[in-house]
Structure 1
Amino acid sequence: MIWEQNLRAIRRRDPALAELLENTPSADGLDVITAKNGDPVPVWRNQPLASRYDPRREAQAWAAGIVNDVPSAGRAYLVFGLGLGYHLEALLQKDPGAHFMVFEIEPGWWRRLLELRDVRHLIKHKRVFIQPAFDFSAGSPVFDWLLQGTFAGEVKVAEIPAYRDLFPEAHHQWRQGVLDSLHHLRVGLATREHWKDVWLQNSIANLFAIFANPGVSDLLDSLTATPAVMVAAGPSLNEHLETLRGLVGRVPIIAAGTGVVPLVQAGIHPDYMVSIDPGEANYAALKDYLDLPDTTLVFFSSLHPRVAAEFRGPKVSAFADQEHLPQWLGELAGWNHKGVLPDAASVAIPTFKFILDLGCPEIILLGQDLSFLDPENFYAGRRKITVTDYLPRTNIAGETAYTTRQLLTMRRELEMYIAQANQRGRRVYNASRTGLPIAGAAPVDFAAWAREQAGRRFTRPESILGQPSPEEILEKLREPLATVRRELSTLRETAAAATLALAPLRDQNRPPDPLGAPALAGRVPPGTPGGYPQAARKATADQLSTAVPRLNQILNHTAYQKIIRRTVSNLDLLVRTRKLDLDTADAAQVRDFVTMLYNFATAVGGRAERYHAELRKIEPGKPDAL
């Protein structure tokens, strides 16, 4: 009876999961006893998996160690194991406004537990999501849930103690996947927060360079019969430099970012060099290696503008997949599309994508170690950088190597692109003998592979001629720039209207002033449900109904989508993770939600004003303005 009730509840919420459980036999050897307080306790191999006396109290003590502070708004929990639900119940009691993703990874085990206790209240709970497996790949439900939790606030990781011991290998894989995914997301969000304005400023500074040069789209599928070598600056590159020298003119050599430095130091000029980093550190690393007449610079709009301006050699430009201003201007001006490269945490990603777009059937990863044997030396060539925050990992040779969370994040993203390449029939090989293994990239003896290329000859595709002059670019941008400025003006006005609609609501919901009159949210009659008076709920609902259409206008505005979106908080994610139920919310939750909306509208208006002014600096007839 209990099993059927639980199964029906699961089927209403997740039919596929219900079918999986229904077709899985119950685990043998999982028995049950009754605790002193009358609750069922599962027993495995004669060992109780919870307290024989009071499993609820035991779970409450466990939850108190997990939630040992005042919960933050939007907090999310990942929990390894549901068991009979005691631990999740305790967490819900300690942090009732949080979201929970719970993993039960053994279907037969879970089916047996579902026969022992009615947990329909947990299965049906709108903020509880139960997963039978852990897939942390980008786009998976788990990854999207982690993204929302990371963006909205805080993510906590917990496990039922018994599960950690019962499933040690699965627990290790789960925990490592969670930590790696969280770091990947946090790095991405921190990167966006740190660079959001620089990206846009660089895009404006690089407008001339973007449109004055051919695009990567002009090189699409131009090397379909030629394998390529992608060079990174990992320490193993040093041992391959002489072999690589023999490949000059035979196969395209493509440097990823500062991978060009050890090549030039060794007297090897690559055929292509991909550079995307917007910061001063990137310019400082490259400034002495920009006079390369035989190397083509591949760059996109957010690159540090001095790298593009000072490079002495042919150039090919691209649009960044998350930076839309240059692309928008190009569309308005009627120019051909330059092509898009991914704006990633590492230059290795757009470099790999560029090689894929060239059509190369085979890609050799050289110096892509993602680790280092000596913490004092993790960069090929003559540059030494000390890394202190490192993690031990087993490398390809079975030795202990050291890596960082940033490098692990980079590997995760690179492996995603390699998987796509493999699906398209491309072959990817890893020439490093001391680096970390990379999924989808088979080990290769680089010297032997190089000998197989002895009969090859490679000629770079000729540069596309007939690119516009500075004067032509500026004249053609006259009307597009005016259009973009008009759009920014209307966005600024829309944001101001939203701010105006939200301001009274924000003021009414301020915390009480101890030295003055209390705010509306503070005037709480005794016994008011949720600590928020009904009159205030109605007033809030009415005022939100006025403000929300303005916010939707912002989200759908072209200038927001094309320019501002990347420079402010993602309102869609924030609203999705901090859903406001006015029937149950307390005063603090209402205040936080309204403040979030107000801050978003204010930020959009400020950014629209700022970039309207930035674009006014570009005056047709003054080529040096770009």
Structure 2
Amino acid sequence: MIKSNQKELKNNHKLLLDLIVKNENFLSEEPLKIGDSKTGDKTLEVDINGRPLSIHSKYNPLKEAQKVVDQYRNGIDQYNHIVFLGCGLGYHIEEFINQYPDKKYTIYEPSPAIFYQLLCTRKVDTTILSKVNNICLDFDPIYWEQLINELVHDYDSKVLLVILPSYTRAFSEQIEEFTKLYKEKIQQRGMSLTADLHFSKRWTLNSLINLPETIKSPNILMDKKEVFYGKPVIIVSAGPSLHEELENLREIKKNGTAYIIAVGSANKALIASDILPDAVSTYDPQKHNYRVFMPMLEKNIDTVPMIYGTSVGYETVEKYKGPKLHFVTTQDTVSPYYIDYGDRPIELVDDAFSIATVTFEIFAKLKADPIILVGQNLAFKDNLYYSKEIRRGKSGNAEIKEKDLTKVLTVKDVNGKDIKTNMSLNQMRLNLEEKIRIYDNVQVINTTKNGANIEGANFLYLNEVIEKYLDIKVVKRNWYTLKDSHPIEKTLHKISKMEREETSFKGLYEKVRRIIEEISNATENYSINKLENLLSKLDKSMKKLMNNNFFQFIILPISRIDYEKLQFEVKKLQTIDDITTRSRIITKEFGGYLIICKKIYNELLPEMKLNTHSKLRTLKGKYYSSDCGVFKYTRGWSTHRYSNDINRVDSKIYYNTRKNAEAISFKFSGSSIKIFAGTRNDFTSKVKVTIDNEEYIVSSKSNESTEFIFEPDFPILEVRNLEEKMHFITIELLDDNHFVFNGIEIEANARVFHIEEVTEIRDLEIGKRIRCHYKANFNKPGVFSGLGKETKLFISSQSNDYPNGDFYLIMVDKDGEKLKLISDRNVQKNISWSIDLTNQLNRYKKSDQIKETIQINLLESSEWDYYIVNSEMLELNKIPKSDWNLLPGSYFWTETLQNKGVVYRGMNYEQCNNIAFKGVTPNYEARDSAGARIKMLIIM
């Protein structure tokens, strides 16, 4: 090697030099021929299959290099990073650097011997080696695969690949492989980046809200290994070819010779054909994911277990009423922190572009054998995108849509013929093939007729698979049940620890924010010595912040893209010598990132504390939220939702006041109580809690800065060892500062009562209320029961699609022996209207104690106005409007038909839902969903 070249490598590319020196004997023996061109410049010749091939022009390599640059001149300004595929003797690289000195440069050389000859033949220390950022020699595929990963994750780079023309002939295989993998990774990165941008907050939110269910359900990878080991598993996808295999699947299901797992929309085709899968699998974090299971929800099928990724849309977990098993995805940082698996390390499943790939990895890890793919077309067939049975979008069929035909490409099918697919489906295929390569010890059979060929999965007709592999019954009944639940005690310890870390995070955040502020001031004043000290303090404080558990498990996963950008900017600072310039960049970048962290904190803290910690803590007790209906508020209270931008229409509600003497009252029977409120440094320090005649003065003032949302659900008072009897409680504000009330916790065998609550029908009068239970399936009228009793906890004030809880009936009128009561909330969130809906709702399960006649109807629209909106009845005017749970979007059907439509109502809101006509008679068919709020007539 020329000494100056070696010296420059030692200074800037030390690891590369060590690699070259280690392999120098091998590199020097390569049969490469160095010669002179007509202009006297060196040229290079390689041997390709016994034939010589010139890497450079034998006449004028420099002029040839200029032509290479000219080929890329148009549009080069949009790129800031040039990657050379092939360096040869470096002429074109030098020309690029001369003409575009400000760009970033990288070299990939498929023949390390050629680069070695460059070092030995030409002095390029100042023209190439000192200017190029990265040099990758193809000693092993791991080197260039690592380079590609670095390129696609470099957010600041817009990369242009420049191929030396002779290399497309001399090293066609390596160049093609590099460019192919680069394009695939770019596509994957684009899809992954899009997913990160869209779902990063959703992944964490879902994992938090799903956690109470996750803790109760088996982890399929850790609790069910023995079920699937060596057993055949069929992964059924929704491709067009599924239709042709339904009868084969029916036979397999009947005989129990393989576990049938439906992924994506495949359950729709199976249910439509009266075939119940052995399980369904899901992982999509989006809100609408539950719609995939609509046929099962509508038919109230609750015997098929759902295998869900812990970061799946929480709505899916809430609405699906069948048995559940979970798996922890790599996008979920929450569950691994909270759930205790003892000494066993938690097994994770990679997030992927399709649920089929995710499900394949699950059963490959479980060592199922064989894994059989059905309906995995990953391409178009007969103008179909899905199997015929599936109704897709507004068209109501399974046909290809215009949007599917963007970026169409051709691949080989299982018979070696050309078949059309699109980029999205093809990326799913590539992703699945990659997983099959990783789990190469698992036999994978593709039975998809005319589907895309899947490398690593041999094609075999399903009827042949049945004959060859599926000859004995393997499916066990109730295989999905959990013998022992996960221990809650260690999770409760983790909750306490996380809440300490959350408090610590706010302190660390404030410290970093103040340092950044000081850096900004010192920069403007050119206080150089002070800046050095402050930058050192910032570095130490940021490290502490980033090591904080709340940051690591909640903030960072959501802000990962912004964090990676921050890291990239920090790396660039190493090239900037001027301390004031560095300080300005630090102020801007770190300050911007802190604002993002604060926004995430303010949105996710209420979800963590109210939806996760509160539910987990009360697995052994009862928690009554401020909007559950048992608390009587004076008129100075207002309701608010915790704000977020995660499209949660059902975000939690809290009650707030800042008026002296405003109060809450309720009764409870039991021996202990805990009261929860919001805390912050601008909140009240004077709250009087009276239990019977005993007074307690408590505070909701804390050290938390107004930079952040208040700390919700903080225990401001706990009283134990009370006498087992009915206790009367008031909570009263004693000043004009903010007081946020979140709720109370009592023992599992205790009960809370509204001040105006009665337990016997005979005690009812206008303004009084009585408890009642309602249970219903999805979009179906349910059954009422338990008047006066506590059957379960309350139905949410915002209601839900699967109500199974209590609510209040408030008495609004009396006509002789007939009592009229109206429900204090929508008892069901979504139910389709039909002409017979009232009759269907009129179902009360009587007990022996109730002798009265009970009739249940929908309200007339005029009754809503008379009793609630414009009520002049003194007894009803005493009831705050908030007691009727009049929430945005909580509309409900009435019995009123008007203008050829049915009226549905909300507070000060009326709208008719149009109904079709047939001839002269209205054809009252089921329409869009609204809530169900009922009136009950009790005839004494």
Normalised-by-shorter TM-score class: 0.7 to 0.9
Pairing 1:360–2:368 present: yes
Q: Which residue of 2 aligns with 1:440?
A: 456
| CA drift at 1:574 | 4.8
Matches within 5 A, 1:202-213: 202-213=206-217
Out of 473, 491, 503, which is 1:457 matched to? 473
Q: Distance in 2 between matches of 1:67 and 1:586?
A: 33
Q: Which amino acid aligns with 1:553?
A: K
For the 8 Å contact 2:204–2:311, the answer to whether it is kept is yes
Q: Which residue of 2 aligns with 1:606?
A: 599
Q: Which amino acid aligns with 2:248?
A: T
For the 8 Å contact 1:215–1:318, the answer to whether it is kept is yes
Out of 124, 129, 132, which is 2:138 matched to? 132
Flag the 1:555–1:411 CA change in 2: closer, same or farther, 3 A. farther
Q: Which residue of 2 aligns with 1:219?
A: 224
Q: Deviations over 1:3-48 (max 9, x none)?
A: 995699489423345544641434456643154xx75455645971
Q: Secondary structure at the match of 2:37?
A: strand
Q: Secondary structure at the match of 2:337?
A: helix
Q: Distance in 2 between matches of 1:18 and 1:537?
A: 44
For the 8 Å contact 2:20–2:116, the answer to whether it is kept is no
Q: Deviations over 1:359-397 (max 9, x none)?
A: 3132112222322245x4222233234212122223332
Q: Which residue of 2 aligns with 1:516?
A: none
Q: Which residue of 1 aligns with 2:409?
A: 391
Out of 575, 587, 590, which is 2:567 matched to? 575
Q: Distance in 2 between matches of 1:585 and 1:132?
A: 38
| CA drift at 1:298 | 0.5
Q: Secondary structure at the match of 2:573?
A: coil
Q: Deviations over 1:576-623 (max 9, x none)?
A: 574322555798887556533332233223322332222232334337
Pairing 1:85–2:90 present: yes
Q: Which residue of 2 aligns with 1:529?
A: none
Q: Secondary structure at the match of 1:222?
A: helix
Between Structure 1 and Structure 2, the one with more helix by share is 1
Flag the 1:419–1:166 CA change in 2: closer, same or farther, 3 A. closer
Q: Distance in 2 between matches of 1:323 and 1:551?
A: 24
Give unmatched runs, 5+ long, in structure 1.
Answer: 510-518, 521-534
Q: Which amino acid aligns with 2:360?
A: F
Q: Distance in 1 between matches of 2:247 and 2:359?
A: 23
Matches within 5 A, 1:178-327: 178-216=182-220, 217-248=222-253, 249-290=256-297, 291-327=300-336
Out of 552, 557, 569, which is 1:561 matched to? 552
Relative contact order, CA 8 A, sep 6+: which one is greater? 1
TM-score by length of 1: 0.81
Q: Distance in 1 between matches of 2:346 and 2:32?
A: 61
Q: Which residue of 2 aligns with 1:524?
A: none
For the 8 Å contact 1:77–1:157, the answer to whether it is kept is yes
| CA drift at 1:132 | 1.5
For the 8 Å contact 2:218–2:326, the answer to whether it is kept is yes
Q: Distance in 2 between matches of 1:506 and 1:392?
A: 56
Q: Secondary structure at the match of 1:380?
A: coil
Give unmatched runs, 5+ long, in structure 2.
Answer: 46-52, 391-397, 624-792, 801-940
| CA drift at 1:343 | 2.8
Q: Distance in 1 between matches of 2:509 and 2:93?
A: 42
Q: Distance in 2 between matches of 1:109 and 1:321?
A: 42
Q: Distance in 1 between matches of 2:271 and 2:461?
A: 24
Q: Distance in 2 between matches of 1:86 and 1:590?
A: 40
Q: Distance in 2 between matches of 1:29 and 1:336?
A: 59
| CA drift at 1:339 | 5.2
Flag the 1:287–1:96 CA change in 2: closer, same or farther, 3 A. farther
Q: Distance in 1 between matches of 2:214 and 2:34?
A: 65
For the 8 Å contact 1:319–1:340, the answer to whether it is kept is yes
Out of 340, 346, 352, which is 2:354 matched to? 346
Flag the 1:359–1:174 CA change in 2: closer, same or farther, 3 A. closer
Q: Distance in 1 between matches of 2:381 and 2:522?
A: 59
Q: Secondary structure at the match of 1:429?
A: strand
| CA drift at 1:223 | 2.2
For the 8 Å contact 1:502–1:547, the answer to whether it is kept is yes
Q: Which amino acid aligns with 1:325?
A: V
Q: Distance in 2 between matches of 1:228 and 1:364?
A: 6
Q: Which amino acid aligns with 1:579?
A: K
Out of 414, 438, 444, which is 1:420 matched to? 438
Q: Which residue of 2 aligns with 1:499?
A: 513
For the 8 Å contact 2:271–2:295, the answer to whether it is kept is no
Q: Which residue of 2 aligns with 1:544?
A: 535
Q: Deviations over 1:511-554 (max 9, x none)?
A: xxxxxxxx78xxxxxxxxxxxxxx68877654422211122112
The sequence identity of aligned pairs, in percent, is: 19
Q: Deviations over 1:472-525 (max 9, x none)?
A: 97x99666444323322321332232233224546888xxxxxxxxx78xxxxx
Q: Secondary structure at the match of 2:328?
A: strand
Q: Which residue of 2 aligns with 1:329?
A: 338
Q: Secondary structure at the match of 1:559?
A: helix
Q: Distance in 2 between matches of 1:42 and 1:476?
A: 68
Q: Deviations over 1:239-282 (max 9, x none)?
A: 22222222111111112232322222232221121101011342
Q: Distance in 2 between matches of 1:537 and 1:54?
A: 51
Q: Distance in 2 between matches of 1:105 and 1:226?
A: 45
Q: Which amino acid aligns with 1:260?
A: N
Q: Secondary structure at the match of 1:579?
A: helix
Q: Deviations over 1:311-335 (max 9, x none)?
A: 232211232223122332224x989
Q: Which amino acid aligns with 1:599?
A: G
For the 8 Å contact 2:32–2:44, the answer to whether it is kept is no
Q: Distance in 2 between matches of 1:587 and 1:42?
A: 49
Q: Which residue of 2 aligns with 1:23?
A: 26
Q: Which amino acid aligns with 1:265?
A: A
Q: Distance in 2 between matches of 1:143 and 1:267?
A: 48
Matches within 5 A, 1:465-480: 465=482, 480=494
Flag the 1:582–1:52 CA change in 2: closer, same or farther, 3 A. closer
Q: Distance in 2 between matches of 1:356 and 1:574?
A: 37
Q: Distance in 1 between matches of 2:584 and 2:100?
A: 18
Q: Distance in 2 between matches of 1:385 and 1:550?
A: 55
Q: Distance in 2 between matches of 1:589 and 1:264?
A: 62
Q: Which residue of 1 aligns with 2:921?
A: none
Q: Which amino acid aligns with 2:296?
A: Y
Pairing 1:117–2:122 present: yes
Structure possessing the higher radius of gyration over alpha carbons: 2
Q: Which amino acid aligns with 2:415?
A: A
Q: Secondary structure at the match of 2:379?
A: coil
For the 8 Å contact 1:496–1:605, the answer to whether it is kept is no
